[in-house]
């Protein structure tokens, strides 16, 4: 782990921002993030509100690495990215995909609470009408029988990301269907991410920089995986996306489009967003705008207290 800077330095340089979104995603319409700068650039701290301090501390470690150590050495100049389609009505899919210039792959959200399997089938079909490669993401919302039924109804896709919650369930689904299975939460929200490999539960590993503790932590984990890796965002601002793109650019092998085009989902961002050109983005340093979309004072205080608690978690970890 990157040596910890002083907490006072982090808080002094921190900006708590509220980024309005074009459509609801993960149940939110505004994404709150904390950005701070250090000698190597800018870092981000933005764990989702329901995450406890222990889990959220990994996000702080990732931000500190970016600001105080900087990115790893790249081995490629461009990274292919997928479009991300929230759980919108099918008739809105083409409008969403139009924001991802040149993208040939779309990740479509499915299993949204309050929606039906028919909604999912229609949304995926609408995406297929626009791009040749479609992958779907259920965020662990299905049971094993529901996953098997839904995958059969939706039909052939590039892969199904996190159809069920547990690694054991992923393994069951993988044995029952013909399409590849990708693991996301079963890697980043568990004590032992390698259980996915041990139980032969997935064909693709989706790795996210902030939840896994930083760029170099992702690169080390990718080395241990016996499957292709997709680097994806955690609904990051441009600061967090820059760390994801830097990580993808440093991977020795990168076979599939990465989920690093989500900046198009924000109305406002903290810096110039990573807009896909020809379906790709390139690694670069980011500099926040002079005028930032700052959060309300009560949210600013809430985030600063949360950052301080997570800092104390990191400070208690063994070297």
Q: What CATH number labels 79-281?
A: 3.20.20.120
Res 76 pLDDT > 90: yes
- Give percent of the chain with pLDDT exceeding 90: 93
- pLDDT category, 23, cuts 50, 70, 90? confident
Binding-site residue set for Mg(2+) = 137, 161, 184
- Please state the separation of Cα 293 from the chain's center in Å: 21
Give the pLDDT of residue 2: 82
Query: 245 vs 49, 124, 171, 225, CA distance in Å?
Result: 24, 26, 30, 19
Res 286 pLDDT > 80: yes
Give the domain ranges of the chain: 7-70+293-316, 79-281
Q: Give the residue numbers annotated as catalytic, written as ranges.
A: 109, 208
Classify domain 7-70+293-316 at the CATH superfamily level: Enolase-like, N-terminal domain (3.30.390.10)
Q: Give the pTM.
A: 0.95
Backbone dihedral angles phi then psi of residue 289, each to the nearest 5 degrees: -65, 155
- pLDDT category, 216, cuts 50, 70, 90? very high
Give the pLDDT of residue 24: 83
């Amino acid at each position: 782990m990157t040596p910890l800077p002083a907490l006072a330095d982090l808080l002094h340089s921190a900006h708590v921002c509220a980024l309005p979104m074009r459509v609801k995603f993960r149940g939110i319409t505004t994404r709150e993030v904390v950005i701070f700068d250090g000698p190597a650039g800018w870092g981000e701290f933005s764990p989702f509100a329901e995450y406890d301090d222990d889990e959220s501390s990994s996000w702080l470690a990732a931000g500190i690495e970016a600001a105080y150590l900087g990115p790893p050495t790249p081995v490629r100049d461009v990274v292919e990215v997928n479009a991300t389609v929230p759980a919108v009505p099918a008739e809105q899919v083409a409008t969403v995909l139009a924001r991802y210039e040149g993208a040939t792959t779309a990740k479509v959200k499915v299993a949204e609470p309050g929606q039906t399997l028919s909604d999912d089938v229609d949304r995926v079909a609408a995406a297929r009408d626009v791009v040749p490669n479609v992958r779907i993401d259920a965020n662990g919302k299905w049971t094993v029988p529901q996953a098997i039924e839904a995958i059969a109804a939706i039909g052939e896709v590039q892969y199904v990301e996190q159809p069920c919650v547990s690694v054991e369930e992923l393994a069951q689904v993988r044995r029952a269907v013909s399409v590849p299975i990708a693991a996301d939460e079963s890697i980043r929200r568990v004590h032992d991410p390698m259980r996915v490999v041990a139980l032969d539960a997935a064909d693709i590993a989706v790795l996210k920089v902030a939840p896994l503790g930083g760029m170099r932590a992702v690169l080390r984990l990718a080395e241990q995986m016996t499957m292709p890796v997709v680097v994806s965002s955690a609904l990051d601002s441009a600061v967090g996306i820059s760390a994801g793109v830097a990580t993808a650019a440093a991977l020795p092998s990168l076979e599939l489009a990465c989920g690093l085009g989500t900046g198009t989902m924000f109305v406002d961002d903290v810096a110039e967003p990573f807009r896909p050109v020809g379906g790709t983005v390139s690694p670069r340093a980011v500099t926040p705008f002079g005028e930032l979309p700052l959060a309300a004072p009560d949210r600013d205080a809430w985030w600063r207290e949360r950052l301080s608690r997570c800092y104390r978690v990191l400070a208690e970890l063994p070297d």
